[in-house]
Structure 1
Amino acid sequence: MDPLDDVLALLETQGHLSSSLVAGGQWGVRFQPPEGVKFNAVRRGSCVLEVDGIDEPIALAQGDCYLLTGARGFTLRSDPGVEPVDARRIFAQAVDGVARTGEGDDVLLIGGRFSFGSHAQDLLLDALPPVIHVPSGTRQAETVEWALTVIGDELTGRPPASRLVAEHLAVVMLVHVLRLHLAREPRTMSGWLAGLADPAVAAALTAMHGDPARPWTVADLARSGAVSRSTLAARFKETVGQGPLEYLTRWRIELAARRLRQGGDTVAAIAHDIGYGSESALSVAFKRVTGMSPRDYRRHLVDA
């Protein structure tokens, strides 16, 4: 399994599209901190993005898109200094999926957000910078541009199931944005995501995700990346922030937790499937990582 695909699937990633925004003249819109990961794409015109806690505004041109990965308020404006209006008021007056502000239609943005299941903060969001800006006009951005074009066509033409198709395409766009950012600026990421930028670490991650139940050793994982055991251990610790086998334990516990949330399987069956020889061995590891036993974890879900 590809680790990025694996984590996004584990987190039950979903795209949610909002109304489009059409603006013209001198305008500004202030947005409250979003839930999950917010995205916008400029389909026509240009504007300025200002994010709370980020010193420099970001100029957005036609074809650009961005992700906001944390709960930060932000403002979109035609020009710096224009007094913004509250986005909630603008979008409450949207007609046929289009919100409007200012005078004219110089600018068109489409956007939405991505929601995730539990542990998204630890597994994904903490590894990302607060803003990821993908400018247009680069070869690497072509796939993102294609996805955005089709999303726009779906929302404009409104064929049957258009919203469902557009929201699935938004997830495709998210994957490509993360890939592009990983290739372009790996040093701005941390954790397992940063490890994907190191060929040896990425090979070890891919091996573990492909067969998490295998009794991996550091030597086995080093061979998958064609490096020595000591080299892999050092590079894995430097990029991911923990040793290879510690990461494997935590990934197995994430898999076990998902199985427990889904219900049905016994703890013994889950233990066998993810590489623990007995229910007691899984229970010890699970409690060490989560602070509760698998049975208590499942009971907590039922009572919640």
Structure 2
Amino acid sequence: MSRAKPIDRPSASDPLEEVLALAEVRAERASTLTGHGDWALRLPAPEGAKFNSVLTGSCIVDTAGLPQPVTLRAGDSFLLTRPQEFVLATSLDADVQPASPLFRATGGSSAEAGPLDEPVTAQLVGGSFTFGRRARELLLDALPPLIYLPAHAEGAAMLPHLLTRIDREARTGGLASSVVTEHLAVVLLVDVVRYHLNQQPSRAGWLQGLSDPVVSVALHAIHADPARRWTVRLLADVAHVSRSTLAARFKAVVGQGPLEYLTRWRLELGAHRLTATDQTIATIADAVGYGSEAAFALAFKRELGVPPGSYRREARKADSAAAPR
């Protein structure tokens, strides 16, 4: 009797690492906020995401999408993942003032709120993060509007120091400072996402799939070899479950079927290559698992709304317009 051919196990791959690479996270200069007595500030919506850590004292944070304001104490942090306004305050009964004029007065480096002759009730350090054009759909939309990171969480104690280092690198502009700030921003983001994934799942999405023992195996397989001719059967064999079990579990946890996810990830890889390389569309199509340029172009337009060539031209035009002159 001949033995069945074993399933090739894909090489190790980390989906979160790969998504973070495509998200192109960048850190901007950090700033400090010192509150005296009772105060309340409305801060503008960040372009990408906003991170804050409480150094001393306590305050509350409130923004759209929260069931109730979150109380922050020394050592606590939060990540705002949406481009929306938020309020920091000692009490929601305090008169809310716009924060932008206070920060503009110091060039954006610091601000003081409340009656300055009263004791300090809270001091925070914060930083803003910008991302590449696909980051919101790839990563940020998979997160809740605000992630609270308590002081006792793993890695939380280092976050204020990381923000301070980001600020110093951004101010001094030393050798390779942009590389340093980029990597520090990724460390911050990873610590927050790790903590979020260790909490009770709140919604379906690929991030929740990383915490599922069955789905995570299939996700790692897809990311390790996205160009492979995967079927639900092959992915189920890698995960050591039945085809029906994988299909149902993947759909329940991620919110879409495994082959739908595979298609979307291939197109994300293709979109990145279109903007980051000069490879031909045919070469990109082959690299991400499509048998022809026409098949890739059809799927790309169906999912992203424009043909690959138009996507490349529009992205480069946008990059050129955003480049410093």
TM-score by length of 2: 0.84
Q: Which amino acid aligns with 2:279?
A: D
Separation (CA, whole Å) in 2 of partners of 1:268 and 1:3: 25
2:219 aligned with 1:205: yes
1:232 maps to 2:246: yes
CA distance in 2, matches of 1:291, 1:76: 39
Q: Which residue of 2 aligns with 1:184?
A: 199
Unmatched runs of 5 consecutive residues or more in structure 1: none
State how many pairs are aligned: 300
1:298 paired with 2:312, answer yes
Alignment match, 2:79: 67
Instruction: Give the equivalent residue in structure 1 for 2:323.
Output: none
Deviation at 1:207, TM superposition (A): 0.9
Separation in 2 of the partners of 1:78 and 1:303? 45
Q: Does the residue aligned with 1:245 lie in a helix, a strand or coil?
A: helix
Say if 1:35 and 1:95 are closer, same or farther in 2 by CA, change over 3 A: closer
After superposition, the Cα gap between the structure-2 partners of 1:123 and 1:160, relative to the gap in structure 1 and judged at 3 Å, is closer
CA contact (8 A) 2:126 2:163 kept: no
Q: 1:129 deviation in Å?
A: 1.3
- 2:92 aligned residue (69, 80, 101): 80
Rounded to whole Å, the distance in 2 between the matches of 1:40 and 1:195 is: 27
Which residue matches 1:144? 156
Partners of 1:275 and 1:131 lie apart in 2 by 36
Partner residue, 2:66: 54
Shift of 1:135: 0.9
Counterpart amino acid of 2:33? L
Alpha-carbon RMSD across the aligned residues, in angstroms, is: 2.4
Which deviates further from its counterpart, 286-295 or 161-170?
161-170
SS in 1 for 2:214: helix
**Which residue does 2:103 correspond to in 1?**
91
Q: Which of 191, 197, 208 lines up with 1:194 in the alignment?
A: 208
Is 1:134–2:134 an aligned residue pair? no
- Residue type of the alignment partner of 2:246: L
Alignment partner, residue 22 of structure 2:
10
- Of 242, 254, 275, the residue aligned with 1:261 is 275
2:32 aligned partner? 20
Greater share of helix: 1
What's the % identity of the aligned pairs? 47
AA of the residue aligned to 2:97: V
Higher mean alpha-carbon deviation, 153-162 vs 62-71, is at 153-162
The 1:61–1:166 alpha-carbon spacing in structure 2 relative to 1, beyond 3 Å, is farther
Which range moved further: 49-58 or 238-247?
49-58
TM-score (norm 1): 0.89
Which residues of 2 match residues 138-177 of structure 1 at below 5 A?
141-152=153-164, 155=167, 161=174, 164=178, 165-166=180-181, 168-177=183-192
